[in-house]
Amino acid sequence: MIDALPAQGVPAQQVLAELAAMREADLPTHGGRLFAYVYDPAVSGLDDLANSAYALSAHVNGLDPTAFPSLLMTENALVGAAARVLGAGPGTTAPDVVGSVTSGGTESLILAVKAARDARPEVEKPRLVAPVTAHAAFAKAAHYLGVHLDLVPVNATTFQADPVAMAAAITPDTVLVACSAPSYAHGVVDPVTEIAAAAAAVGVRCHVDACFGGWALPFLRRLGAENGEALPDFDFGVPGVTSISVDLHKYAYCPKGVSVLLHRDALLRRPQYFAFAEWPGYTMINPVISSTRSGGPIAAAFATLRHIGDEGYLRLAAQTRDAVRGLAQAVSEVDGLRLLAPAHTTVVCFTSDDPALDPFVLADELAARGWHTQPQLPFAGMPASIHLTVTASVAPQIAAFAPALADAAAAARTLGPTLLPPELLDMAASLTPDQLTPEFVAGLAETFGLAGDDARPGARMAVVNTVLSAAPPRLRERLLIEFVSLLQHPTFA
Ligand SMILES: *Cc1c(COP(=O)(O)O)cnc(C)c1O
C-alpha cells in the first residue's frame, strides 16, 4: 500500500514517478479511444499551457473577489465569453445577462434550482419539471434542495422532450422547468422554444441544460447554417429561457472543475447567492456552493479559451462533426446495430436489434480492443445502448474504429448474449434495497471479480450490466452505493 504520510518526506522526483506509475492503470485520457469522461481536442501544446496557467493560480482563493482581482477579471471574462457563445450580451435580446463560474455541471444545476426555489419563498412544496432524459444532476439538485422532481416522459421515437406533456406537468408549485440542449445519453436537443414558451406563459423560470454540448452546439449550428442543415434554437435568443448552464470542462476542452451558469438578468441571479453575517468571522458571501475555491481551474480555462479562440472552436466542431459522421457510418455498416437517435450533435448512441448481438458483450469486446465506450442500461422503454461522447481527437481514429467495431461485433456474436441463471435474474428483479447488506454486495463483487487487488477497470462487465439491467432503478442505485462504498475505504501502510 502506498503511504500518503510517510515518516520522512519523499523526494519530488520519486513522488511524481509513483503518481505516473499509478496513472498507468487509468483509461487513456488522450488519443480519441475513450468515449466518455474525457474531452480531448488533440491541440498540441494545450495541456502544457493549461497546466502552467493552473499552477500560476492554484493558490489563489475565490472566497473574496476583492482580494484577488485576477480571479474576478478572469471569471468575468469567462462569463462574458459564455454569454456571447450562447446568444447573450451586447446587441442581443439578452443584453443584461449575468453569470457565475462553478466547479462543474452538477453545481451549476444545483444553483439554477436553488435560485428558482428561493425566488418563490411563498411556495411551500416547490416542484421542478424535467424530461426523463434530463441529466441525473437535476435529481441530485432536487434531492439536496427538498424540491419535488416531476419527470415527464419523452417522445418514444425521437427521445425529445414532449412540450405538451411538459406544459401539462406545470403546477402552481412549479418553480422551474428544465430541458436539455443536448441530452447526455442520446445527444438530442429538446424543443426549447416550445418548452420555454409554455413556462413563460405561466411565469415560471426555464433552465436550458447545455452543460454537455453548450460549447459545441453553437459552433455546430454555425457550420450547419453554412450547409443549410439547421440545428434547433436553444440559447438566450429563445424567449422565456431564463438560465443556461455550460460546462467548460467538456466541449471548451478545459481541465476539470469549470462550468458557467448564466441568468438572463441580475434579478434572476440574486437568490443564487448565500450571505451570512451572524457569526464573529468575516461576512460570508458566496455565489456558488464552495466558499474557498482554487483559482487554478479558472486560470486554466481562461488560458484554454484564449488560446483556442472562436475560430479554433469552429475548427474543432468541424472535426467533431466529421468524427460523429464517421462513427455513425461505421455503426450503420454492422448488421443488427442501429443508431438509437440521429447523430446530429456530438453523441453517437446505438443499440442492437439482433438478440444474438448483446450490446454489453459488444462493449466488452470493444474494450478488449482498446476502445472504451459507455454502456447504458435499459430504462423507461429505451433499450440497452452504447454511448459514445465524440470529441475532436476522435477524427483521426475513424479509419481504425470501423474495422474494430465490425470485428468486435463478430466476436460478440460468437460469444452470444449474456444468459444468466433465471434464479439470479429473479433475485435481481425482486430484492428490496434493504436486503442489500454490505456483506451481500461484497460477495457479489467477489463473484464478478470486481473487488480485491486484481480488480481492474476493463474487467468483463457484461454480466454485471445484465444483472443491473434486470434490477429496478431503486435497486440499481443501492447496489452501486454499496459497491462504491466497498471500494472507498482508507488504506493503511
Ligand atoms: C455532464 C453533465 C452534467 C453534470 O456535469 P458535471 O460536470 O459532471 O457535474 C449536467 N448535464 C449534462 C447534460 C451533462 O452532460
Q: Which atom of ligand 1 is nearest to the CA of 182?
A: 13
Among candidates 356, 362, 355, which has minimal Cα distance to 330?
362
Residue 23, classified by CB atoms within 10 Å of its CB into exposed (0-12), middle (13-18) or buried (19+), is exposed
Expressed in angstroms and rounded, the spacing between residue 136 Cα and the centre of ligand 1 is 8
pLDDT at 438: 83
End-to-end CA distance of the chain: 5
| Residue from 247, 250, 256 to probe ligand 1 pocket by mutation (most atoms less than 8 Å from CB) | 247
**CA quadruple 42, 107, 389, 412: dihedral positive or negative?**
positive
The cell for 75 is 471569471
pLDDT at 493: 84
| Residue from 39, 103, 106, 288 to probe ligand 1 pocket by mutation (most atoms less than 8 Å from CB) | 106
- Residue with the smallest CA separation from ligand 1 atom 5 is 105
Q: What is the CATH number of domain 54-304?
A: 3.40.640.10
Among candidates 35, 36, 58, 39, which has minimal Cα distance to 47?
39
* CA–CA separation, 186 and 183 (whole Å): 6
Residues in a beta bridge with 102: 259
pLDDT at 227: 75
Q: Which atom of ligand 1 is nearest to the CA of 259?
A: 7
pLDDT at 257: 98
Domain ranges (residues) in the chain: 54-304, 422-487
- Residue with the smallest CA separation from ligand 1 atom 8 is 105
Residue 415, classified by CB atoms within 10 Å of its CB into exposed (0-12), middle (13-18) or buried (19+), is middle
Q: 416 to each of 347, 355, 360, 411, 421, how far by Cα in Å? A: 27, 9, 11, 9, 15
Any residues with Cβ below 6 Å from ligand 1, and which? 104-106, 109, 135, 137, 180, 184, 209, 211-212, 247, 259
Dump the DSSP string for 220-247. Answer: HHHHHHHHT-PPPP-STTSTT--EEEEE
Whether residue 182 is preceded by a cis peptide bond, meaning omega within 30 degrees of 0, is: yes
The series of mean pLDDT values per 10 residues for the chain, 493 residues long, is: 94 97 96 96 97 98 94 98 98 98 98 98 98 98 98 96 98 98 98 98 98 98 84 97 98 98 98 97 96 97 98 98 97 97 96 97 97 96 97 96 98 94 84 83 80 61 91 91 91 90
Q: Which atom of ligand 1 is nearest to the CA of 107?
A: 9
pLDDT at 88: 98
pLDDT at 186: 98
Q: DSSP class of residue 83? A: H
Expressed in angstroms and rounded, the spacing between residue 133 Cα and the centre of ligand 1 is 12
Expressed in angstroms and rounded, the spacing between residue 211 Cα and the centre of ligand 1 is 5
The number of C-alpha atoms within 13 Å of 62 and in the hemisphere containing its C-beta is 26
- Residue with the smallest CA separation from ligand 1 atom 15 is 212
The cell for 464 is 454485471
Residues in the chain: 493
- Residue with the smallest CA separation from ligand 1 atom 3 is 105
Expressed in angstroms and rounded, the spacing between residue 188 Cα and the centre of ligand 1 is 14
Expressed in angstroms and rounded, the spacing between residue 102 Cα and the centre of ligand 1 is 12
Q: 214 to each of 243, 262, 309, how far by Cα in Å? A: 12, 12, 16
CB 451 within 8 A of CB 459: no
Q: 119 to each of 105, 113, 122, 207, 452, how far by Cα in Å? A: 21, 10, 9, 14, 49
